[in-house]
Amino acid sequence: MIAMANEGLSVNKAGALAGVAHSSLYYNPGPRFVAPKPEAVSLVKHWCMAKPAYGYRRITAMIRRQGLKVNHKRVHRIMRLNGWLKPFHKRYRKRTGKTLPQPIGSNEFWQADMTKIWCGVDGWCYLFNILDCFDRSWVGYNFATTCATADNEPSVTAALQSRSPETMQLPGLVFQSDNGGQYTSNRFERFLKLAGFVHETIRKKTPEDNAFIESFHATLKTEYIWPHDFESFQHASQVIQDAFNDYNNERIHSAIGYLTPAEKYSQFLQKELKEVSVKLC
Domain ranges of the chain: 1-30, 38-81, 109-274
pLDDT at 245 over 70: yes
Is the pLDDT at 280 greater than 80? The verdict is no
- What CA–CA distances, in Å, run from 47 to 25, 132, 239, 276? 46, 27, 21, 40
**Out of 88-92, 189-193, 194-198, 247-251, which region has the weakest mean confidence (pLDDT)?**
88-92
Over the stretch 19-47, which tens digit does the pLDDT of each residue have? 677 666 666 666 667 788 899 999 999 99
Architecture of domain 109-274: 2-Layer Sandwich (3.30)
pLDDT of residue 175: 98
Average pLDDT, the chain: 89
Q: Model's pTM, two decimal places?
A: 0.80
The average pLDDT across 149-165 equals 97
- pLDDT band per the 50, 70, 90 thresholds, residue 275: confident
List pLDDT tens digits, range 176-227: 999 999 999 999 999 999 999 999 999 988 888 999 999 999 999 999 999 9
Q: What is the mean pLDDT of residues 10-19?
A: 69
- What is the pLDDT at residue 99? 73
- For residue 14, pLDDT over 80 is answered with no
Determine the pLDDT at residue 277. Answer: 79
User: What is the average per-residue pLDDT within 68-77?
Assistant: 92
Give yes or no for residue 135 having a pLDDT over 70: yes
- Nearby residues of 38 by Cβ (< 8 Å), 6 or more positions away: none
Mean pLDDT computed over 234-240: 98
Q: 26 or 143: which carries more pLDDT confidence?
A: 143
The stretch 266-273 carries a mean pLDDT of 95
* pLDDT at 208 (0 to 100): 87
pLDDT at position 92: 55
pLDDT at 129 over 70: yes
Residue range 139-158: mean pLDDT, rounded? 97
For residue 7, pLDDT over 80 is answered with no
Residue 34: the pLDDT is 77
**pLDDT of residue 96 exceeding 70:** no
Please say if the pLDDT value at position 104 is more than 80: yes
